[in-house]
Every structure is written in structure tokens, then in C-alpha cells.
């Protein structure tokens, strides 16, 4: 008989064990964490983990299938596909991360101001957000990048501006619900400033929503940036990028299908993992908030 069982009745012990099981991430979430962690490691280390130089061309080894020396084969320039997949994780992670941070910062700030302050600020912010939100984002990005001459970081800046209005609408709706709650009335009664109420009291209660939406935005940004690179409006030609690899190796589908399919699989698996992690984290943070 353990000390825990002596102090608590069987029903309490069972409830405690069920809570512990719920806190353990499901197997699918653990797989998603492992995938995202691998992408992060590849993005941080760059070419250090690549078995070959991702930019090294060897025309004598072009269009080879999978082998012991080239696990995913080579492209038409003799470059190792696996090494380019590893190197492409940097553009596949850093760019979407910048978009997410930028859009969340802009959207959260404007959404809190619109939702809590209201009045002409709410009207001005939300009509502007509605205007940008109504535009076909990817099409606008293609037009703007076509005029500006493309470029990876230009694409990141354009997507940040286009995604921020969505965050603004979401945060504003949540802030409207929060400002009518008793804890906000109590903060006003204590004479706290509006800025303190918004960012020290309302903002923490919106974190589950903001975090979950950030994961969804990451997946959306990853796909959008890869699509722009696929169209030649993202990274420069020859750079290791999943979207660019998918475009460059599409004509090799009969000679070495993995040259194109591996990049597409990396995109799909990473985007799906981020979506699943976003849903799981929202549930965890929401449960913790309700418990608190």
C-alpha cells in the first residue's frame, strides 16, 4: 500500500491517474513534435547534417536513383537530393517563423486596441483589415512580387502584411468577449490604465487562441512561400528550397521521382505536423486556463 493510496480514496487515485494520462501527449503528437524538431535542427545547423554539399554539381552522377551514396538520388545537375532537402529546411522554417511573429505582433496589438477601446479606432482598424482580408492573398502576393522583382524576404514581408488582418479579426473578437467579464470591470475599478488592462490582463487569456492560430499561420506561410518559390518569385534560382526543388525537378518525375516527391513530402508533412500541434496546444492551454 503506497502513501498515496493511504491518503486518498480509490476514486481520487483513479482521477489523478486519468489526469496524468491526459497530460501525456498522444503518439501522433509525439511524432509531430519529432518531425518539427528535426526540421528545426536542420534549419539551425544548415548543411552540417547534409551528407554532401547541397550545391555541388557532378554531371557524371546526374539523374541517379536511390543508392548507398545518394539515398534519394540526384537531380539533373548531379546534386544530392537528400542534402538539398536538409539545406532547404532553413528557408522552409525561418521565413514562415518571421511571418508568424510579425503577423501575430501586428494582429494582436491592433486586435486588442480595436476590441477593447472600440469607437473610431475599432472602425478604422477593422475596415482596413476587412479590405486587406477580402483580397485574394496569394494572387496579390504574386502581383506585388512580380512588380518588385521577387525575392525571398520581399515575399516574407508581403505575406506578413496579408496575414496580419486575419490575426486582427480573431484577436478583436476574443477581446470583445473578454472586456465584458468581471475581472476587467474589477481592473477598471482599481484604476488600472487601459494599456495595463489590455496587455497584462486580457492578453494572457487570449494566448491559447494566439498560439494555436500562430501554428496555423506557420503552415499557411510555409505553403505560400513554397508556392511563390515554385513560381520563381521566392528564392533565387539554384538555392536549396523545397518549393524551388519541386519546380526544378518536376520534369524529372520519370527519371528520378524522388527528386520532386521528396520536396513535396517535406512540405506536406511539416505543414500537417504544425496544424496538429496547433490544435493540441490550444486544447492544453485552454484546459490549463480553465483549471487556473
For residue 195, tell me if it sits in a domain. Answer: no
For residue 237, tell me if it sits in a domain. Answer: yes
Q: pTM, whole model, 2 decimals? A: 0.85
**Predicted local distance difference test score (pLDDT) of residue 99:** 96
For residue 213, tell me if it sits in a domain. Answer: yes
Residue 277 in this model has a pLDDT that exceeds 70: yes
**Predicted local distance difference test score (pLDDT) of residue 122:** 92
Instruction: Give the H or E element holding residue 163.
Output: helix 152-178
Q: How confident is the model at residue 1 (pLDDT cuts 50, 70, 90)?
A: very low
> What is the radius of gyration, based on Cα positions, of the chain?
24
For residue 277, tell me if it sits in a domain. Answer: yes
Q: How confident is the model at residue 135 (pLDDT cuts 50, 70, 90)?
A: confident
Q: What whole-number percentage of the chain has pLDDT above 90?
A: 49
Q: What is the pLDDT of residues 221-257, one digit of tens each?
A: 999 999 999 998 988 888 889 999 988 888 888 888 8
- Contact in structure between 86 and 54 (CB atoms under 8 Å): yes
Distance between CA 244 and CA 76 in Å, rounded?
Answer: 14
For residue 70, tell me if it sits in a domain. Answer: no
CA-to-CA dists, residue 87 to 4, 114, 263, 271, angstroms = 51, 41, 11, 17
For residue 210, tell me if it sits in a domain. Answer: yes
CATH number at residue 238: 1.10.3720.10
**Predicted local distance difference test score (pLDDT) of residue 84:** 92
For residue 280, tell me if it sits in a domain. Answer: yes
**Predicted local distance difference test score (pLDDT) of residue 21:** 55
Quote the mean pLDDT of the chain. Answer: 86
**Predicted local distance difference test score (pLDDT) of residue 6:** 47
- Contact in structure between 57 and 77 (CB atoms under 8 Å): yes
Domain that holds residue 256: 78-175+206-291
- Split into its structural domains, the chain has a count of 1
**Predicted local distance difference test score (pLDDT) of residue 10:** 54
For residue 35, tell me if it sits in a domain. Answer: no
Residue 51: count of CB within 10 angstroms of its CB: 13
Distance between CA 283 and CA 169 in Å, rounded?
Answer: 21
Terminal-to-terminal C-alpha distance of the chain: 32
Distance between CA 224 and CA 51 in Å, rounded?
Answer: 28
Q: Is 217 exposed, middle or buried (CB count within 10 Å of its CB: 0-12, 13-18, 19+)?
A: buried
Q: What is the pLDDT of residues 2-55, one digit of tens each?
A: 444 445 555 555 554 555 555 678 999 999 999 999 999 999 987 788 888 888
Amino acid at each position: 500500500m503506497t502513501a498515496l493510496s493511504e491518503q486518498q480514496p480509490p476514486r481520487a487515485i483513479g482521477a489523478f491517474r486519468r489526469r496524468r494520462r491526459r497530460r501525456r501527449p498522444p503518439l501522433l503528437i509525439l511524432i509531430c513534435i519529432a518531425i518539427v524538431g528535426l526540421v528545426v535542427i536542420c534549419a539551425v545547423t544548415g548543411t552540417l547534417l547534409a551528407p554532401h554539399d547541397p550545391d555541388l554539381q557532378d554531371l557524371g552522377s546526374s539523374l541517379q536513383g536511390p543508392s548507398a551514396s545518394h539515398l534519394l538520388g540526384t537531380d539533373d545537375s548531379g546534386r544530392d537530393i537528400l542534402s538539398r532537402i536538409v539545406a532547404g529546411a532553413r528557408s522552409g522554417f525561418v521565413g514562415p517563423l518571421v511571418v508568424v511573429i510579425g503577423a501575430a505582433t501586428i494582429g494582436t496589438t491592433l486586435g486588442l486596441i480595436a476590441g477593447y477601446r472600440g469607437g473610431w479606432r475599432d472602425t478604422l482598424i477593422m475596415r482596413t483589415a476587412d479590405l486587406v482580408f477580402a483580397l485574394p492573398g496569394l494572387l496579390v502576393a504574386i502581383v506585388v512580387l512580380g512588380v518588385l522583382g521577387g525575392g525571398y524576404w520581399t515575399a516574407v514581408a508581403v505575406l506578413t502584411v496579408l496575414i496580419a488582418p486575419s490575426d486582427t479579426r480573431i484577436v478583436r473578437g476574443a477581446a470583445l468577449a473578454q472586456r465584458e467579464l468581471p475581472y476587467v470591470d474589477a481592473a477598471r475599478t482599481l484604476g488600472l490604465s487601459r494599456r495595463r488592462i489590455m496587455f497584462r490582463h486580457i492578453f494572457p487569456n487570449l494566448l491559447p487562441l494566439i498560439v494555436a492560430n500562430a501554428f496555423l499561420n506557420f503552415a499557411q506561410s510555409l505553403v505560400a512561400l513554397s508556392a511563390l518559390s515554385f513560381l520563381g518569385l521566392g528564392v533565387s534560382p539554384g538555392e536549396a528550397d523545397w518549393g524551388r526543388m519541386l519546380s526544378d525537378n518536376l520534369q524529372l518525375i520519370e527519371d528520378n521521382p524522388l527528386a520532386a516527391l521528396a520536396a513535396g513530402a517535406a512540405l506536406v508533412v511539416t505543414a500537417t505536423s504544425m496544424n496538429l500541434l496547433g490544435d493540441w496546444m490550444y486544447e492544453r492551454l485552454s484546459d490549463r486556463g480553465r483549471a487556473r
